[in-house]
């Protein structure tokens, strides 16, 4: 099977690309990586007295880059990464910087909002119930950036 990562033509064996080492989130290795990233993203959501830096977000981003988003949990982890970055920008824990990229998205509020909205809509495709799907779409609509006509 071919790798699904952009610009990679490696073969996937046992859920791991032999070229770029990307893993499917449904493989045991991918699930373990995803759980580790999810735990670090939860820690980013909790109030902290010390200064935040982009390093935590960058570490989570690098780990998520190696996971192919093929299920709800993988898409949710991407959305949580961008939502954490938006929250930290809103609360001025970090500053915008278009040279810093989280999963290819510049650390700029509007771009992060667009990406988080798209990831949440992807999550809705994998929702197990209609209520969860509606909740995800509502969350995507809330994070959507304000537009002026």
Taking the domains of the chain in order of start, what are their residue ranges?
28-143
Minimum mean pLDDT among 6-10, 119-123, 130-134: which range?
A: 6-10
| pLDDT computed for residue 49 by the predictor | 47
Contact present, 56 and 21 (Cβ < 8 Å): no
Fold assignment, 28-143: 1.25.40
- Please state the pTM of the whole predicted model: 0.74
For every residue of the chain, which 3-state class applies, written as one string? CECCCCCCCCEEECCEECCCCCEECCCHHHHHHHHHHHHHHHHHHCCCCCCCCHHHHHHHHHHHHCEECCCHHHHHHHHHHHHHHHHHHHCCCCCCEEEEEECCEEECHHHHHHHHHHHHHHHHHCCCCHHHHHHHHHHHHHHCCCCCC
pLDDT tens for each residue of 36-89? 777 777 766 665 544 567 888 998 898 888 887 888 988 999 999 999 999 999
Q: How far apart are CA 117 and CA 109, in angstroms?
A: 12
What is the percent of the chain with per-residue pLDDT over 90, rounded to a whole number?
44
| pLDDT computed for residue 45 by the predictor | 64
Mean pLDDT of the chain: 82
């Amino acid at each position: 099977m071919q790798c699904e990562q952009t610009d990679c033509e490696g073969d996937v064996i046992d859920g791991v690309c032999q070229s770029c080492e990307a893993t499917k989130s449904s493989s045991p290795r991918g699930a373990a990586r995803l759980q580790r990233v999810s735990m670090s993203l939860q820690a980013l959501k909790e109030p902290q007295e010390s200064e935040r830096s982009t390093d935590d977000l960058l570490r989570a981003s690098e780990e998520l880059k190696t996971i192919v988003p093929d299920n709800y949990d993988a898409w949710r982890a991407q959305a949580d990464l961008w939502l954490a970055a938006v929250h930290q920008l809103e609360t001025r824990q970090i500053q915008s910087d278009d040279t810093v990229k989280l999963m290819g998205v510049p650390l700029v509020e509007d771009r992060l909002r667009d990406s988080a909205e798209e990831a949440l809509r992807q999550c809705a495709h994998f929702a197990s119930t209609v209520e969860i799907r509606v909740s995800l779409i509502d969350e995507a609509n809330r994070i959507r950036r304000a537009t002026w006509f």
